[in-house]
A and B are shown apart, each in its own frame.
Chain A
Amino acid sequence: MELTIANFVQIVIACLLIIALMVGNAVIMVYIERKAAGFIQRRPGPYEVGPRGTIQAICDSMKLLGKQLFIPGNVDWLLYFLAPVMAFLPVLLLFLPIPFGKYLVALKVDDGILLILAFAGLGVISNILAGWASNNKYGLLGAARAVAQSVAYEIPMIMALLAVVFMAGSLNLSEIVERQGTWPWQWNIVFQPLACFIYFVSLVGETNRAPFDLPEAESELTAGFHTEYSGMGFALFFLSEYANMLLVSFVCATFFLGGYKGPILDGFWWTFIKAYAVMCLIVWLRWTFPRVRFDQLLNINWKWLLPLSILNLWVTAIVLKFIE
Protein backbone atom coordinates (compact mmCIF):
# COMPACT_ATOMS: atom_id res chain seq x y z
CA MET A 1 0.00 0.00 0.00
CA GLU A 2 1.56 3.28 -1.08
CA LEU A 3 1.31 6.24 1.21
CA THR A 4 -0.74 8.91 -0.49
CA ILE A 5 -2.16 12.02 1.14
CA ALA A 6 -5.61 10.47 1.07
CA ASN A 7 -4.32 7.40 2.87
CA PHE A 8 -2.51 9.50 5.40
CA VAL A 9 -5.62 11.55 6.14
CA GLN A 10 -7.62 8.36 6.43
CA ILE A 11 -5.20 6.91 8.95
CA VAL A 12 -5.09 10.11 11.00
CA ILE A 13 -8.89 10.24 11.15
CA ALA A 14 -8.97 6.56 12.01
CA CYS A 15 -6.47 7.09 14.83
CA LEU A 16 -8.59 9.89 16.27
CA LEU A 17 -11.70 7.74 16.08
CA ILE A 18 -9.85 4.85 17.68
CA ILE A 19 -8.68 7.06 20.55
CA ALA A 20 -12.28 8.15 21.02
CA LEU A 21 -13.33 4.51 20.95
CA MET A 22 -10.68 3.56 23.52
CA VAL A 23 -11.66 6.32 25.93
CA GLY A 24 -15.37 5.77 25.45
CA ASN A 25 -14.88 2.06 25.85
CA ALA A 26 -13.00 2.53 29.11
CA VAL A 27 -15.76 4.75 30.51
CA ILE A 28 -18.53 2.39 29.42
CA MET A 29 -16.69 -0.73 30.53
CA VAL A 30 -15.88 0.68 33.97
CA TYR A 31 -19.57 1.36 34.42
CA ILE A 32 -20.60 -2.05 33.09
CA GLU A 33 -17.98 -3.79 35.17
CA ARG A 34 -18.91 -2.08 38.41
CA LYS A 35 -22.60 -2.59 37.76
CA ALA A 36 -22.05 -6.25 36.94
CA ALA A 37 -19.93 -6.68 40.05
CA GLY A 38 -22.70 -5.10 42.06
CA PHE A 39 -25.49 -7.17 40.60
CA ILE A 40 -23.56 -10.39 41.02
CA GLN A 41 -22.99 -9.50 44.66
CA ARG A 42 -26.62 -8.37 44.99
CA ARG A 43 -25.87 -4.70 45.53
CA PRO A 44 -26.63 -1.84 43.17
CA GLY A 45 -23.11 -0.80 42.15
CA PRO A 46 -22.55 2.87 41.35
CA TYR A 47 -25.87 4.56 42.01
CA GLU A 48 -25.59 8.07 43.35
CA VAL A 49 -23.69 10.05 40.70
CA GLY A 50 -26.01 10.84 37.84
CA PRO A 51 -29.08 8.80 36.97
CA ARG A 52 -28.33 5.29 38.24
CA GLY A 53 -24.66 6.15 38.56
CA THR A 54 -24.11 6.59 34.85
CA ILE A 55 -21.62 9.43 35.12
CA GLN A 56 -19.67 7.85 37.96
CA ALA A 57 -16.92 6.68 35.60
CA ILE A 58 -16.60 10.14 34.05
CA CYS A 59 -16.32 11.71 37.50
CA ASP A 60 -13.66 9.17 38.44
CA SER A 61 -11.64 9.96 35.35
CA MET A 62 -11.93 13.68 36.10
CA LYS A 63 -10.63 12.95 39.58
CA LEU A 64 -7.70 11.01 38.09
CA LEU A 65 -6.92 13.94 35.79
CA GLY A 66 -6.78 16.30 38.71
CA LYS A 67 -4.53 14.16 40.84
CA GLN A 68 -0.91 14.82 41.55
CA LEU A 69 1.62 12.75 39.65
CA PHE A 70 3.47 11.29 42.56
CA ILE A 71 7.03 10.16 41.86
CA PRO A 72 8.55 7.88 44.46
CA GLY A 73 12.19 8.20 45.43
CA ASN A 74 14.96 6.58 43.38
CA VAL A 75 12.85 5.82 40.36
CA ASP A 76 14.29 5.66 36.91
CA TRP A 77 12.14 8.57 35.88
CA LEU A 78 12.59 8.27 32.12
CA LEU A 79 11.37 4.69 32.12
CA TYR A 80 8.84 5.56 34.80
CA PHE A 81 7.14 8.04 32.50
CA LEU A 82 7.78 6.05 29.35
CA ALA A 83 6.00 2.94 30.61
CA PRO A 84 2.39 4.23 30.70
CA VAL A 85 2.82 5.88 27.31
CA MET A 86 4.25 2.66 25.93
CA ALA A 87 1.31 0.77 27.32
CA PHE A 88 -1.10 3.11 25.60
CA LEU A 89 0.41 3.79 22.18
CA PRO A 90 0.77 0.29 20.68
CA VAL A 91 -2.89 -0.42 21.34
CA LEU A 92 -3.73 2.44 19.01
CA LEU A 93 -1.81 0.72 16.25
CA LEU A 94 -3.43 -2.62 16.97
CA PHE A 95 -6.91 -1.34 16.17
CA LEU A 96 -5.91 -0.18 12.68
CA PRO A 97 -6.28 -3.50 10.80
CA ILE A 98 -9.50 -4.58 12.57
CA PRO A 99 -12.38 -4.77 10.09
CA PHE A 100 -15.22 -3.15 12.00
CA GLY A 101 -17.39 -3.25 8.90
CA LYS A 102 -17.00 -4.30 5.31
CA TYR A 103 -15.58 -0.92 4.34
CA LEU A 104 -14.84 0.35 7.83
CA VAL A 105 -11.20 -0.66 8.03
CA ALA A 106 -8.58 1.88 8.95
CA LEU A 107 -5.65 0.11 7.35
CA LYS A 108 -6.25 -2.59 4.79
CA VAL A 109 -3.23 -4.82 5.09
CA ASP A 110 -2.83 -8.36 3.86
CA ASP A 111 -1.33 -9.66 7.09
CA GLY A 112 -3.33 -7.79 9.68
CA ILE A 113 -3.29 -10.51 12.29
CA LEU A 114 0.51 -10.62 12.07
CA LEU A 115 0.60 -6.89 12.81
CA ILE A 116 -1.71 -7.35 15.78
CA LEU A 117 0.19 -10.28 17.25
CA ALA A 118 3.56 -8.61 16.74
CA PHE A 119 2.65 -5.36 18.42
CA ALA A 120 0.55 -6.92 21.14
CA GLY A 121 3.85 -8.13 22.57
CA LEU A 122 4.84 -4.53 23.23
CA GLY A 123 2.25 -4.28 25.97
CA VAL A 124 4.15 -6.59 28.24
CA ILE A 125 7.34 -4.57 27.78
CA SER A 126 5.55 -1.58 29.24
CA ASN A 127 4.57 -3.73 32.21
CA ILE A 128 8.19 -4.76 32.73
CA LEU A 129 9.38 -1.17 32.42
CA ALA A 130 6.74 0.04 34.86
CA GLY A 131 7.59 -2.61 37.42
CA TRP A 132 11.33 -2.14 37.02
CA ALA A 133 11.39 1.64 36.94
CA SER A 134 9.16 2.24 39.93
CA ASN A 135 11.76 0.80 42.34
CA ASN A 136 9.21 -1.20 44.25
CA LYS A 137 9.34 -4.85 45.19
CA TYR A 138 5.67 -5.39 44.41
CA GLY A 139 6.13 -3.68 41.08
CA LEU A 140 9.07 -5.87 40.22
CA LEU A 141 7.27 -9.05 41.24
CA GLY A 142 4.28 -8.03 39.18
CA ALA A 143 6.52 -7.33 36.22
CA ALA A 144 8.21 -10.71 36.55
CA ARG A 145 4.85 -12.41 36.66
CA ALA A 146 3.64 -10.41 33.67
CA VAL A 147 6.59 -11.64 31.63
CA ALA A 148 6.12 -15.30 32.49
CA GLN A 149 2.40 -15.08 31.89
CA SER A 150 2.46 -13.16 28.65
CA VAL A 151 5.20 -15.28 27.12
CA ALA A 152 3.28 -18.39 28.05
CA TYR A 153 -0.17 -17.33 26.92
CA GLU A 154 0.86 -15.80 23.64
CA ILE A 155 1.84 -19.19 22.22
CA PRO A 156 -1.50 -21.03 22.47
CA MET A 157 -3.23 -17.84 21.44
CA ILE A 158 -1.23 -17.68 18.22
CA MET A 159 -1.70 -21.42 17.64
CA ALA A 160 -5.45 -21.09 18.03
CA LEU A 161 -5.57 -18.19 15.61
CA LEU A 162 -3.29 -20.06 13.22
CA ALA A 163 -5.85 -22.85 12.91
CA VAL A 164 -8.37 -20.34 11.63
CA VAL A 165 -5.75 -18.82 9.36
CA PHE A 166 -5.15 -22.30 7.91
CA MET A 167 -8.84 -22.61 7.14
CA ALA A 168 -9.13 -19.19 5.57
CA GLY A 169 -5.77 -19.39 3.83
CA SER A 170 -5.17 -15.74 4.58
CA LEU A 171 -3.77 -13.47 7.25
CA ASN A 172 -6.08 -10.71 6.13
CA LEU A 173 -8.77 -10.10 8.74
CA SER A 174 -11.36 -8.97 6.18
CA GLU A 175 -10.68 -12.10 4.18
CA ILE A 176 -11.22 -14.24 7.27
CA VAL A 177 -14.56 -12.58 7.91
CA GLU A 178 -15.57 -13.00 4.28
CA ARG A 179 -14.96 -16.73 4.54
CA GLN A 180 -17.54 -16.99 7.30
CA GLY A 181 -21.25 -16.95 6.70
CA THR A 182 -24.11 -14.88 7.95
CA TRP A 183 -25.65 -17.33 10.37
CA PRO A 184 -24.07 -18.52 13.62
CA TRP A 185 -23.64 -22.09 12.36
CA GLN A 186 -21.50 -20.75 9.54
CA TRP A 187 -19.04 -19.08 11.87
CA ASN A 188 -15.64 -20.39 12.77
CA ILE A 189 -16.69 -21.15 16.33
CA VAL A 190 -18.60 -24.13 14.92
CA PHE A 191 -15.67 -25.41 12.86
CA GLN A 192 -13.00 -24.59 15.43
CA PRO A 193 -14.61 -24.88 18.86
CA LEU A 194 -11.40 -25.99 20.55
CA ALA A 195 -9.42 -23.16 18.98
CA CYS A 196 -12.09 -20.72 20.10
CA PHE A 197 -11.97 -22.06 23.65
CA ILE A 198 -8.17 -21.94 23.74
CA TYR A 199 -8.17 -18.45 22.32
CA PHE A 200 -10.71 -17.30 24.87
CA VAL A 201 -8.74 -18.69 27.82
CA SER A 202 -5.54 -17.22 26.43
CA LEU A 203 -7.05 -13.81 25.91
CA VAL A 204 -8.08 -13.68 29.55
CA GLY A 205 -4.49 -14.54 30.45
CA GLU A 206 -3.05 -12.17 27.89
CA THR A 207 -5.02 -9.16 29.09
CA ASN A 208 -4.18 -9.88 32.75
CA ARG A 209 -7.81 -10.24 33.70
CA ALA A 210 -9.13 -12.24 36.60
CA PRO A 211 -8.88 -15.17 37.20
CA PHE A 212 -5.47 -14.74 35.56
CA ASP A 213 -4.69 -11.27 36.92
CA LEU A 214 -1.51 -12.37 38.62
CA PRO A 215 0.61 -9.37 37.56
CA GLU A 216 -1.69 -6.99 39.40
CA ALA A 217 -3.07 -9.33 42.04
CA GLU A 218 -4.28 -6.67 44.44
CA SER A 219 -4.47 -8.93 47.47
CA GLU A 220 -0.87 -10.10 47.23
CA LEU A 221 1.02 -7.42 45.26
CA THR A 222 -1.09 -4.34 46.12
CA ALA A 223 -1.40 -3.45 42.43
CA GLY A 224 1.55 -5.23 40.85
CA PHE A 225 3.43 -3.32 38.20
CA HIS A 226 1.41 -0.12 38.55
CA THR A 227 1.63 0.07 42.33
CA GLU A 228 3.56 3.33 42.27
CA TYR A 229 1.56 5.04 39.57
CA SER A 230 -0.94 7.70 40.43
CA GLY A 231 -3.03 10.16 38.48
CA MET A 232 -2.69 10.00 34.73
CA GLY A 233 0.04 7.34 34.82
CA PHE A 234 -2.42 4.98 36.41
CA ALA A 235 -5.18 6.18 34.10
CA LEU A 236 -3.11 5.35 31.02
CA PHE A 237 -2.49 1.82 32.30
CA PHE A 238 -6.15 1.49 33.04
CA LEU A 239 -7.10 2.78 29.61
CA SER A 240 -4.71 0.44 27.87
CA GLU A 241 -5.97 -2.52 29.89
CA TYR A 242 -9.52 -1.93 28.77
CA ALA A 243 -8.39 -1.13 25.24
CA ASN A 244 -6.49 -4.42 25.16
CA MET A 245 -9.60 -6.21 26.34
CA LEU A 246 -11.59 -4.56 23.57
CA LEU A 247 -8.95 -5.45 21.02
CA VAL A 248 -8.83 -9.14 21.86
CA SER A 249 -12.63 -9.16 21.91
CA PHE A 250 -12.68 -7.67 18.42
CA VAL A 251 -10.17 -10.24 17.25
CA CYS A 252 -12.30 -12.96 18.81
CA ALA A 253 -15.38 -11.59 17.05
CA THR A 254 -13.51 -11.39 13.76
CA PHE A 255 -11.93 -14.81 13.90
CA PHE A 256 -14.57 -16.95 15.52
CA LEU A 257 -17.86 -15.10 15.59
CA GLY A 258 -18.25 -13.95 12.01
CA GLY A 259 -17.11 -10.35 12.47
CA TYR A 260 -19.44 -7.86 10.79
CA LYS A 261 -21.64 -10.59 9.38
CA GLY A 262 -24.80 -11.41 11.15
CA PRO A 263 -28.45 -12.25 10.70
CA ILE A 264 -30.77 -9.74 9.00
CA LEU A 265 -28.25 -7.04 8.09
CA ASP A 266 -24.47 -7.14 7.92
CA GLY A 267 -22.66 -4.17 9.31
CA PHE A 268 -20.32 -2.78 11.91
CA TRP A 269 -22.99 -3.08 14.60
CA TRP A 270 -22.57 -6.84 14.55
CA THR A 271 -18.83 -6.48 15.21
CA PHE A 272 -19.55 -4.26 18.17
CA ILE A 273 -22.35 -6.44 19.53
CA LYS A 274 -20.18 -9.54 19.36
CA ALA A 275 -17.10 -7.85 20.79
CA TYR A 276 -19.06 -6.43 23.70
CA ALA A 277 -20.69 -9.79 24.32
CA VAL A 278 -17.19 -11.24 24.68
CA MET A 279 -16.27 -8.34 26.99
CA CYS A 280 -19.29 -9.00 29.16
CA LEU A 281 -18.30 -12.65 29.35
CA ILE A 282 -14.82 -11.62 30.52
CA VAL A 283 -16.38 -9.38 33.17
CA TRP A 284 -18.66 -12.19 34.26
CA LEU A 285 -15.65 -14.51 34.59
CA ARG A 286 -13.85 -11.94 36.71
CA TRP A 287 -16.59 -11.74 39.29
CA THR A 288 -17.15 -15.49 39.37
CA PHE A 289 -13.78 -17.17 39.69
CA PRO A 290 -11.09 -16.69 42.30
CA ARG A 291 -7.57 -15.93 41.20
CA VAL A 292 -5.48 -18.98 40.29
CA ARG A 293 -2.12 -19.62 41.88
CA PHE A 294 0.89 -18.88 39.74
CA ASP A 295 1.92 -22.50 39.24
CA GLN A 296 -1.67 -23.35 38.35
CA LEU A 297 -1.67 -20.54 35.84
CA LEU A 298 1.42 -21.87 34.11
CA ASN A 299 0.23 -25.47 34.40
CA ILE A 300 -3.01 -24.65 32.61
CA ASN A 301 -1.01 -23.10 29.84
CA TRP A 302 1.93 -25.43 29.35
CA LYS A 303 0.22 -28.70 30.18
CA TRP A 304 -3.17 -28.16 28.61
CA LEU A 305 -3.58 -25.21 26.29
CA LEU A 306 -0.32 -25.59 24.41
CA PRO A 307 -0.58 -29.36 23.68
CA LEU A 308 -4.26 -28.98 22.82
CA SER A 309 -3.60 -26.09 20.48
CA ILE A 310 -0.82 -27.99 18.73
CA LEU A 311 -3.12 -31.00 18.40
CA ASN A 312 -5.88 -28.77 17.06
CA LEU A 313 -3.54 -27.21 14.53
CA TRP A 314 -2.31 -30.60 13.43
CA VAL A 315 -5.81 -32.02 12.98
CA THR A 316 -6.87 -28.89 11.12
CA ALA A 317 -3.94 -29.19 8.75
CA ILE A 318 -4.62 -32.88 8.05
CA VAL A 319 -8.34 -32.36 7.50
CA LEU A 320 -7.69 -29.44 5.18
CA LYS A 321 -5.22 -31.54 3.22
CA PHE A 322 -7.76 -34.35 2.80
CA ILE A 323 -10.51 -31.95 1.77
CA GLU A 324 -8.29 -30.64 -0.97
Chain B
Amino acid sequence: MIKAIIDNLKGLYSLLVGLSITGRFFVSPQKTTHYPRQVDDPECLKSYRGPLELVPADDTGQSKCISCQMCVRACPGHCLTVTKGDKGKAPKVYLYDFTLCCLCAACVESCPTGAIRFSHKVYLVAPSREALHLDLLADLLARAPNPPQPKAEAEAEGEGNQVLAAPVTGEAPA
Protein backbone atom coordinates (compact mmCIF):
# COMPACT_ATOMS: atom_id res chain seq x y z
CA MET B 1 0.00 0.00 0.00
CA ILE B 2 2.66 2.48 1.06
CA LYS B 3 4.90 1.17 -1.68
CA ALA B 4 2.13 1.72 -4.20
CA ILE B 5 1.70 5.30 -3.03
CA ILE B 6 5.43 5.98 -3.25
CA ASP B 7 5.55 4.40 -6.69
CA ASN B 8 2.72 6.58 -7.87
CA LEU B 9 4.34 9.71 -6.49
CA LYS B 10 7.50 8.77 -8.35
CA GLY B 11 5.33 8.27 -11.42
CA LEU B 12 3.93 11.76 -11.03
CA TYR B 13 7.45 13.11 -10.79
CA SER B 14 8.37 11.26 -13.99
CA LEU B 15 5.44 12.97 -15.69
CA LEU B 16 6.98 16.32 -14.77
CA VAL B 17 10.32 15.16 -16.17
CA GLY B 18 8.57 14.27 -19.41
CA LEU B 19 6.93 17.68 -19.57
CA SER B 20 10.28 19.36 -19.00
CA ILE B 21 11.82 17.40 -21.86
CA THR B 22 9.13 18.35 -24.34
CA GLY B 23 9.19 21.89 -22.99
CA ARG B 24 12.91 22.08 -23.67
CA PHE B 25 12.37 20.70 -27.16
CA PHE B 26 9.62 23.27 -27.73
CA VAL B 27 12.04 26.15 -27.34
CA SER B 28 15.07 24.54 -28.98
CA PRO B 29 15.77 25.28 -32.66
CA GLN B 30 14.13 23.19 -35.34
CA LYS B 31 15.82 20.69 -37.59
CA THR B 32 13.62 21.09 -40.66
CA THR B 33 15.00 22.16 -44.04
CA HIS B 34 12.39 24.30 -45.79
CA TYR B 35 13.07 22.63 -49.10
CA PRO B 36 12.35 25.03 -51.95
CA ARG B 37 13.92 27.93 -50.07
CA GLN B 38 16.71 26.00 -48.40
CA VAL B 39 18.66 22.97 -49.52
CA ASP B 40 20.74 20.56 -47.54
CA ASP B 41 24.47 20.91 -47.29
CA PRO B 42 25.96 18.79 -50.14
CA GLU B 43 28.37 17.33 -47.59
CA CYS B 44 25.37 15.62 -45.99
CA LEU B 45 24.48 13.96 -49.29
CA LYS B 46 27.80 12.13 -49.77
CA SER B 47 26.28 8.86 -48.64
CA TYR B 48 22.88 9.45 -50.27
CA ARG B 49 21.76 6.76 -52.70
CA GLY B 50 20.09 8.50 -55.59
CA PRO B 51 19.51 6.93 -59.02
CA LEU B 52 22.49 5.23 -60.61
CA GLU B 53 24.92 7.07 -62.78
CA LEU B 54 27.87 5.99 -64.88
CA VAL B 55 31.36 6.81 -63.71
CA PRO B 56 33.36 8.64 -66.33
CA ALA B 57 36.81 7.23 -66.95
CA ASP B 58 39.56 9.48 -65.73
CA ASP B 59 41.37 9.79 -69.04
CA THR B 60 38.67 9.65 -71.71
CA GLY B 61 35.56 10.78 -69.86
CA GLN B 62 33.76 7.87 -71.51
CA SER B 63 31.99 5.16 -69.59
CA LYS B 64 34.12 2.52 -67.92
CA CYS B 65 31.48 -0.09 -68.73
CA ILE B 66 32.67 -3.22 -70.54
CA SER B 67 29.15 -4.59 -71.21
CA CYS B 68 29.83 -7.71 -69.18
CA GLN B 69 26.18 -7.90 -68.02
CA MET B 70 27.18 -8.56 -64.43
CA CYS B 71 25.00 -5.71 -63.21
CA VAL B 72 22.07 -6.88 -65.30
CA ARG B 73 22.30 -10.35 -63.75
CA ALA B 74 22.83 -9.04 -60.24
CA CYS B 75 19.85 -6.71 -60.32
CA PRO B 76 16.91 -8.21 -58.39
CA GLY B 77 14.43 -5.79 -59.94
CA HIS B 78 15.56 -6.23 -63.56
CA CYS B 79 15.83 -2.52 -63.99
CA LEU B 80 18.98 -2.46 -66.11
CA THR B 81 19.29 -3.01 -69.85
CA VAL B 82 22.79 -3.08 -71.28
CA THR B 83 23.55 -3.74 -74.94
CA LYS B 84 27.07 -4.15 -76.22
CA GLY B 85 28.21 -1.79 -78.93
CA ASP B 86 29.34 -2.89 -82.38
CA LYS B 87 33.03 -2.23 -81.88
CA GLY B 88 34.92 -2.80 -78.67
CA LYS B 89 33.43 -3.48 -75.28
CA ALA B 90 31.74 -0.11 -74.78
CA PRO B 91 27.97 -0.33 -74.43
CA LYS B 92 25.65 1.02 -77.08
CA VAL B 93 22.65 1.20 -74.79
CA TYR B 94 22.58 1.55 -71.00
CA LEU B 95 18.98 1.93 -69.84
CA TYR B 96 17.98 2.18 -66.22
CA ASP B 97 14.40 2.00 -64.96
CA PHE B 98 14.44 3.94 -61.70
CA THR B 99 10.82 3.00 -60.95
CA LEU B 100 11.93 -0.62 -60.47
CA CYS B 101 15.20 0.07 -58.68
CA CYS B 102 15.34 -0.72 -54.99
CA LEU B 103 18.75 0.95 -54.55
CA CYS B 104 20.23 -2.27 -53.20
CA ALA B 105 23.68 -1.64 -54.71
CA ALA B 106 23.98 -5.21 -56.03
CA CYS B 107 24.90 -3.78 -59.44
CA VAL B 108 27.43 -1.37 -57.99
CA GLU B 109 29.09 -4.14 -56.03
CA SER B 110 29.08 -6.61 -58.89
CA CYS B 111 30.62 -4.24 -61.45
CA PRO B 112 34.21 -5.39 -62.14
CA THR B 113 35.33 -2.02 -63.45
CA GLY B 114 33.53 0.29 -61.05
CA ALA B 115 31.57 1.82 -63.89
CA ILE B 116 28.40 2.67 -61.97
CA ARG B 117 27.75 4.41 -58.71
CA PHE B 118 24.88 6.07 -56.91
CA SER B 119 24.33 9.69 -57.72
CA HIS B 120 23.34 12.22 -55.07
CA LYS B 121 20.26 13.56 -56.83
CA VAL B 122 18.17 13.99 -53.72
CA TYR B 123 15.80 16.48 -55.33
CA LEU B 124 14.92 14.32 -58.32
CA VAL B 125 11.28 14.56 -59.31
CA ALA B 126 9.49 13.46 -62.43
CA PRO B 127 6.09 14.25 -63.91
CA SER B 128 5.50 10.66 -65.02
CA ARG B 129 6.78 7.14 -64.64
CA GLU B 130 8.27 7.23 -68.13
CA ALA B 131 10.43 10.17 -67.17
CA LEU B 132 12.17 7.90 -64.67
CA HIS B 133 13.28 5.48 -67.38
CA LEU B 134 16.73 6.92 -67.55
CA ASP B 135 19.31 6.63 -70.30
CA LEU B 136 22.56 6.59 -68.38
CA LEU B 137 24.81 7.06 -71.42
CA ALA B 138 22.96 10.24 -72.33
CA ASP B 139 23.18 11.27 -68.71
CA LEU B 140 26.95 10.73 -68.74
CA LEU B 141 27.25 12.73 -71.92
CA ALA B 142 25.17 15.52 -70.44
CA ARG B 143 27.30 15.66 -67.35
CA ALA B 144 30.59 15.92 -69.26
CA PRO B 145 29.88 17.71 -72.52
CA ASN B 146 33.43 19.02 -72.98
CA PRO B 147 36.15 16.85 -74.43
CA PRO B 148 37.67 15.36 -71.34
CA GLN B 149 41.17 16.08 -70.22
CA PRO B 150 43.14 13.80 -67.94
CA LYS B 151 42.83 14.71 -64.31
CA ALA B 152 46.11 14.42 -62.50
CA GLU B 153 44.68 14.51 -58.99
CA ALA B 154 42.07 11.82 -59.55
CA GLU B 155 43.09 8.46 -58.21
CA ALA B 156 42.51 5.30 -60.11
CA GLU B 157 39.55 3.47 -58.67
CA GLY B 158 40.14 -0.23 -58.38
CA GLU B 159 37.42 -2.21 -56.70
CA GLY B 160 33.83 -1.45 -57.59
CA ASN B 161 32.56 -1.04 -54.06
CA GLN B 162 35.15 1.58 -53.27
CA VAL B 163 33.34 3.87 -55.62
CA LEU B 164 30.63 4.37 -53.04
CA ALA B 165 33.07 5.72 -50.55
CA ALA B 166 35.04 7.73 -53.07
CA PRO B 167 34.36 11.46 -53.13
CA VAL B 168 32.40 12.88 -55.98
CA THR B 169 34.83 14.56 -58.31
CA GLY B 170 33.96 18.20 -58.29
CA GLU B 171 30.32 18.02 -59.29
CA ALA B 172 27.28 19.19 -57.37
CA PRO B 173 24.09 17.15 -57.31
CA ALA B 174 21.69 18.37 -59.93
B-contacting residues of A (Cβ < 8 Å)?
36, 38-44, 47, 284-285, 287-289, 304
How far is the CB of B39 from the nearest CB of chain A, in Å? 16
Inter-chain residue pair count (beta carbon < 8 A): 36
* A38–B29 alpha-carbon span in the complex (Å): 11
A44 to B38 alpha-carbon distance, docked (Å) = 14
Which B residues lie within 8 Å of A40 (CB)?
A: 22, 25-26
In the complex, chain B residues 26-47 whose Cβ is within 8 Å of any chain A Cβ: 26-32, 34
Q: Write out the residue numbers on chain A whose beta carbons fall within 8 Å of the beta carbon of B30.
A: 38-39, 42-44
Q: In the complex, which residues of chain B have a beta carbon less than 8 angstroms from the beta carbon of A41?
A: 25
Decide: B18 and A39 in contact? CB cutoff 8 A.
no
20 extra interchain contacts, Cβ-Cβ under 8 A, other than A288-B22, A289-B15? A38-B30, A39-B26, A40-B22, A42-B28, A42-B30, A42-B31, A42-B32, A43-B30, A43-B31, A43-B32, A44-B30, A44-B34, A47-B34, A284-B19, A284-B23, A284-B26, A288-B18, A288-B19, A288-B21, A289-B18
Please give me the residue from chain A that is nearest to B25 by CB atom.
Answer: A40
Interface residue? B162 (CB, 8 A): no
Residue of A nearest to B21 (CB): A288
B19 contacts A39, CB within 8 Å? no
Would you give the shortest CB distance from B34 to chain A, in whole angstroms?
A: 7
Size of interface on B: residues with Cβ below 8 Å to A: 16
List A contacts of B83 (CB < 8 A). Answer: none
B interface, by DSSP: helix, strand, loop or mixed?
helix
Q: Which residues of chain B come closer than 8 Å to A304, judged between CB atoms?
A: 8
Chain A residues closer than 8 Å to B27, beta-carbon distance:
39
Give 9 nearest A-B pairs by CB, closest first.
A288-B22, A39-B26, A43-B32, A40-B22, A42-B31, A288-B18, A42-B30, A40-B26, A40-B25
Complex CA distance for A49 and B31, rounded to whole angstroms: 20
Using Cβ atoms and an 8 Å threshold, which residues of chain B touch A285?
A: 19
**A42 and B25 contacting across the interface, CB-CB below 8 Å:** yes
Rounded to whole Å, the gap between the CB of B96 and the closest CB of chain A is: 33
Residue numbers in B under 8 Å from A36 (CB-CB): 26
Q: Which residues of A contact B32 (CB under 8 A)?
A: 42-44
Bound-state Cα–Cα, A27 to B15, Å: 29
Min distance, Cβ A93 to any Cβ of chain B, angstroms: 34
22 contacts across the A-B interface (CB closer than 8 A): A36-B26, A38-B30, A39-B25, A39-B26, A40-B25, A41-B25, A42-B25, A42-B28, A42-B30, A43-B30, A43-B31, A43-B32, A44-B30, A44-B32, A47-B34, A284-B22, A284-B23, A284-B26, A285-B19, A288-B18, A288-B21, A289-B15
Distance from A307 Cβ to chain B, minimum over Cβ atoms (Å): 11
Q: Which residue of A lies closest to B29 (CB)?
A: A42
What residues on A are CB-neighbors of B22 within 8 Å?
40, 284, 287-288
Give the interface centre of A40, A43, A44, A285 by most chain B CB atoms within 10 Å. Answer: A40
Determine the chain B residues whose CB is within 8 A of the CB of A47 once the complex forms: 34
Who on chain B is nearest to A36 by CB? B26
Please give the distance in Å from B30's CB to the nearest CB on chain A: 5
Task: Please give the distance in Å from A56's CB to the nearest CB on chain B.
Answer: 15
Question: Nearest-CB distance from B14 to chain A (Å)?
Answer: 10
Q: For residue A38, which residues in chain B have a CB less than 8 angstroms away from its CB?
A: 30
Q: How many Å lie between the Cα of A135 and that of B61 in the bound state?
A: 67
A38 and B32 CA atoms in complex are apart in Å by 10
